[in-house]
């Protein structure tokens, strides 16, 4: 973290809020950021759903960051906002950092109530834009004084247009990772693959937006040239059985492997020959940054800031999202040209250093400092809002 940015916020007590606590990219970013800031002298607390999965809570405990559980199921009401404000008071929060739509709407009003600064980050998807009232609720919350961050330039543009705010009001901060290499996992033995069978690895939850069906279809197109290639997917989600059924229909049931959630992604990457990101939509996926850090040759959908990170194709092969034919051709290229694949992987590993969690934390420290100055200059003090102001809270979904 830069010295100036750290000096401006050291001692600030930061609440990091997110509406889910499963093993996803946004959740991992929250715990990475909270841990880095706490180590730099900014104690914090992570606020998660009262009835969540518990993954993020365990990760936070490992990072030494306390967790506060909050009941989101009660609905977005003035009483619920008061309860969140009480959480902020109990932890002496001076800045609240919300992630994604729901927590941003809640946090804007609760932070205003206690006089805390507010920073909001949106990750990856535009699901907030599906309904007009969601956009209005998000805009209203941010209008109370929050600073808005997007994890990719593409998403920043969407936010500006969707929320009717000036482009210069949206800051882009790339995700960062804390990378630790690991010895290769014994994947070939576990999967029954031969010692030279190519392993194509994807990491991501099994949701439609992750595009895994297109990856399975691409493997079918590769069958003639690479009959021994295996696709390995690390992630859990609703499409597991559908992907298995697709693999059976294509005669690939022995070459498509769904591993479920894995906590040993560095070891999986070390064992893989190629990493593939077949997503239909992304901001800046952590799995891509991890694959680059591991020096894996990459095939990735041209979405979000993937093109920027891969330097227009110098550090990996870009394909049209949802295009199984292009995906197959790109995989064939890297599997057939190992020297080119190795060069790409080495160049990607060198470039990945720019996406370390310390760089992300430094960028957020700048935004936090500006948000804290905004709050001091506005003269907003901790107070109970008037009855009329409370009644203007936007309706929940």
pTM, 2 dp: 0.88
Q: Are residues 167 and 208 in the same domain?
A: no
Q: Are residues 55 and 152 in the same domain?
A: yes
Q: Are residues 148 and 235 in the same domain?
A: no
24 closest CA partner among 32, 14, 16: 32
Q: Are residues 250 and 324 in the same domain?
A: yes
Contact 299, 216 (CB under 8 A): no
Does 268 reside within a domain? Answer: yes
Rg from Cα positions in the chain: 22
Q: What are phi and psi of 342, to 5 degrees?
A: -65, -40
Does 159 reside within a domain? Answer: yes
Contact 247, 218 (CB under 8 A): no
Does 31 reside within a domain? Answer: yes
Q: Are residues 131 and 142 in the same domain?
A: yes
Does 66 reside within a domain? Answer: yes
Please tell me the predicted confidence (pLDDT) of residue 6.
Answer: 63
List, in sequence order, every residue forming a beta bridge with 44; answer none if it has no partner.
14
Residue-wise burial string across 239-255, b where 16 or more C-beta atoms lie within 10 A, e elsewhere: beeebbebbeebebeeb
CATH number of the domain residue 161 falls in: 3.40.50.2000
Q: Are residues 159 and 271 in the same domain?
A: no
Contact 184, 193 (CB under 8 A): no
Q: Are residues 381 and 346 in the same domain?
A: no
Compute CA 168 distance to the chain's CA centroid, rounded to the nearest angstrom: 22
The tokens for 29 are: 């970013």
Q: Are residues 71 and 199 in the same domain?
A: no
The owner of tokens 């560095």 is: 266
Does 396 reside within a domain? Answer: no
Q: Are residues 108 and 212 in the same domain?
A: no
Supply the range of the domain harboring residue 275: 187-354
List, in sequence order, every residue forming a beta bridge with 16; answer none if it has no partner.
46, 97
Q: Are residues 9 and 20 in the same domain?
A: yes
pLDDT tens per residue, the chain (397 residues)? 455 776 678 889 999 999 988 888 899 999 999 999 998 899 999 999 988 888 999 999 998 999 999 988 878 889 999 999 999 999 999 999 999 999 999 999 999 999 999 999 999 778 788 889 999 999 999 999 899 999 999 999 999 999 999 999 999 999 999 999 999 999 999 999 999 999 999 999 999 999 999 999 999 999 999 999 999 999 999 999 999 999 999 999 999 999 999 999 999 999 999 999 999 999 889 999 999 999 999 999 999 899 999 999 999 999 999 999 999 999 999 999 999 999 999 999 999 999 999 999 999 999 999 999 888 877 654 444 333 333 333 433 3
Does 395 reside within a domain? Answer: no
Q: Are residues 170 and 50 in the same domain?
A: yes
Q: Are residues 275 and 375 in the same domain?
A: no
Please tell me the predicted confidence (pLDDT) of residue 13.
Answer: 94
Does 182 reside within a domain? Answer: no
Distance CA(48)–CA(42), nearest Å, equals 19
* Number of structural domains found in the chain: 2
Does 341 reside within a domain? Answer: yes
């Amino acid at each position: 973290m830069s010295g100036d940015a750290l000096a401006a916020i050291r001692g600030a007590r930061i609440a990091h809020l997110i509406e889910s606590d499963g093993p996803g990219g946004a959740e991992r970013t929250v715990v990475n950021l909270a841990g880095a800031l706490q180590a730099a002298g900014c104690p914090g607390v992570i606020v998660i759903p009262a009835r969540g999965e518990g993954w993020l809570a365990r990760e936070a405990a490992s990072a030494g960051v306390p967790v506060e559980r909050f009941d989101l199921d009660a609905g977005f009401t003035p009483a619920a906002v008061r309860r969140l404000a009480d959480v902020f008071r109990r932890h002496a929060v001076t800045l609240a950092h919300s992630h994604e739509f729901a927590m941003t709407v809640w946090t804007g009003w609760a932070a205003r109530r206690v006089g805390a600064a507010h920073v909001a980050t949106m990750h990856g998807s535009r699901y907030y834009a599906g309904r007009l009232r969601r956009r209005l609720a998000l805009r209203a919350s941010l209008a109370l004084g929050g600073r808005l961050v997007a994890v990719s330039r593409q998403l920043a543009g969407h936010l500006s247009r969707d929320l009717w705010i000036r482009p210069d009001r949206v800051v882009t901060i790339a995700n960062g990772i804390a990378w630790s290499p690991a010895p290769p996992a014994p994947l070939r033995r576990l999967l029954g693959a031969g010692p030279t069978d190519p392993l194509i690895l994807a990491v991501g939850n099994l949701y439609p937006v992750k595009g895994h069906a297109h990856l399975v279809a691409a493997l079918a197109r590769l069958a003639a040239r690479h009959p021994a290639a295996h696709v390995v997917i690390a992630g859990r989600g609703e499409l597991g059985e559908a992907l298995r059924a697709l693999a059976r229909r294509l005669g690939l049931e022995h070459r498509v492997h769904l591993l479920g959630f894995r906590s040993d992604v560095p070891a999986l990457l070390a064992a893989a020959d190629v990493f593939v990101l077949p997503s239909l939509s992304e901001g800046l996926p952590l799995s891509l940054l991890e694959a680059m850090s591991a020096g894996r040759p990459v095939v990735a959908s041209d979405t979000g800031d993937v093109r920027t990170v891969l330097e227009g194709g110098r550090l990996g092969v870009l394909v049209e999202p949802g295009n199984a034919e292009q995906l197959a051709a790109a995989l064939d290229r890297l599997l057939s040209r190992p020297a080119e694949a190795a060069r790409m992987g080495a160049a990607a590993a060198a470039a990945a250093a720019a996406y370390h969690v310390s760089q992300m934390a430094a960028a957020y420290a700048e935004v936090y400092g500006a948000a804290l100055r905004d709050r001091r200059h506005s003269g907003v003090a901790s107070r109970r809002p008037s009855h009329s102001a409370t009644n203007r809270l936007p309706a929940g979904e």
